[in-house]
Structure 1
Amino acid sequence: MVNTQKDGMIDFGACVRSYVERNINLQPQRLLIRLPNAKYVLNAGLKYFMGDSYTWLPEYDEVADWLTDNKGMGLFCMGNCGRGKTTICMQVLPCIMQYYFHRIITVCLAREMNTHYKEIMQKYLLVIDDIGREEPYQEYGNHYNVFPDYVDDCERKGKFLITNTNCTKEELAMKYGERTLSRLKATTRLVAFAGKDLRHG
């Protein structure tokens, strides 16, 4: 018989700890990033990697705000080409993660990730550049598509993802499905990169 009396109320904390002792994590621990001087550091990194072509853009304020306190969320940069998304995700942030938080984050190109499915899925910290343009990979009749599965692990297991795309939400929904986009929204902070391509003036 189920005990419904108030003094028999379940202790959820004790239950969670009991599962943890059995290597089952009901409440994934998410990576917290808090960098007090985030704007200064991000600005220095962008200057280093972009050189003479560097100009601070409004969207960089949002990235700096995320670095100040990510609230356990990853980062998803979406928008136009030539706005610094790849530089931030593939160069500046991995350096910041290593220096300030002593974390080595794996960096990969979306077009190559499906050929390394098992290796990528084992990573806890991951940067993926240019999602939405990759093709599914097939080997011995098996189809591999890393991105939806990794996003699933971000929600279920607390993995940490930084990624970027030039695709629209509609294009991503057609490629990955609404379920993956919903989980991406739940586990990353979206920063929209708008405006003209700075590579072409």
Structure 2
Amino acid sequence: MANNISQLISQMTREGVLDHREIWSWSWGDRTTCNQLFRAIFRSVDSTFEQYHHLPEYEDIIAWMISTQDKGLLLMGDCGRGKSVILNGVLPVLFRMKNRVLQPVHAQDMGREIPDQQTFRSHRPWLYIDRLLHSSFPAIDELGVEPMLNDYGERYEGFNLVLNAAERYHRPVFITTNLCEEQIYNRYGERTMDRLAHLCRSVHFSGESLRK
């Protein structure tokens, strides 16, 4: 019976009539391997830092690399400490090592058209928020700087739609933001904070900027 049920679920998932939720668990190795890998990728993808400084926050990223534990990453806090480098440089390389694609979208671009894309559902251009809504690994850089989106006169927070889809399909979410928890709560609401806690491992960046 178990085999029949498994086959039935697989068939319904392929047909798109059932959302099959699975635990997302990846690892890039033990602590030594992940430490070396993080440092090597960070140095290679961004040379705008005058000198590489291994911050305490990076240990949380390395711990996540050892075991993702069914969560994405919420990188929040002070500027100039490597949040965007990690999201736009380190993580895409790590995902490519797993033959997967992580394609971050800057928050300001969420409502903009993607160049050279076919129309979305035959009635409007394909927008960056559409990419986020359909991505297996939605990633947003600098959450909080985006404007409200407009759909035929109705204004709404695009980020909440992204989280709704991520929660429904059990997708890990990857975010950088300069907002604190209170600011996220005030803008996006209690429900969003609850979903972020479920979908992301929070890493707090605190201290002076390392950029010169």
Residue 146 of structure 1 is matched in structure 2 by: 158
For 1:110 and 1:30, locate their aligned partners in 2 and report how far apart those are by CA, in whole Å.
27
Residue 61 of structure 1 is matched in structure 2 by: 59
Q: Would the aligned equivalents of 1:86 and 1:164 in 2 still touch at CA under 8 Å?
A: yes
| Structure with greater helix percent | 1
State the aligned residue count: 189
**Correspondent of 2:103 among 100, 103, 106:** 106
**Correspondent of 1:191 among 197, 203, 209:** 203
| Identity level (%) | 26
Q: Look at both structures and tell me which one has the larger radius of gyration over its CA atoms.
A: 1
Residue 165 of structure 1 is matched in structure 2 by: 177
**Correspondent of 1:48 among 31, 44, 51:** 44
Q: Would the aligned equivalents of 1:73 and 1:160 in 2 still touch at CA under 8 Å?
A: yes
Q: Would the aligned equivalents of 2:148 and 2:157 in 1 still touch at CA under 8 Å?
A: yes
Q: Normalising to structure 2: TM-score of the pair?
A: 0.80
**Correspondent of 2:27 among 34, 56, 75:** 34
The runs of 5 or more residues in structure 1 that have no matched partner are: 1-10
Q: Normalising to structure 1: TM-score of the pair?
A: 0.84
Q: Would the aligned equivalents of 1:25 and 1:157 in 2 still touch at CA under 8 Å?
A: no
RMSD: 2.3
The runs of 5 or more residues in structure 2 that have no matched partner are: 113-126
What secondary structure sits across from 1:76 in the alignment?
strand
Residue 85 of structure 1 is matched in structure 2 by: 83
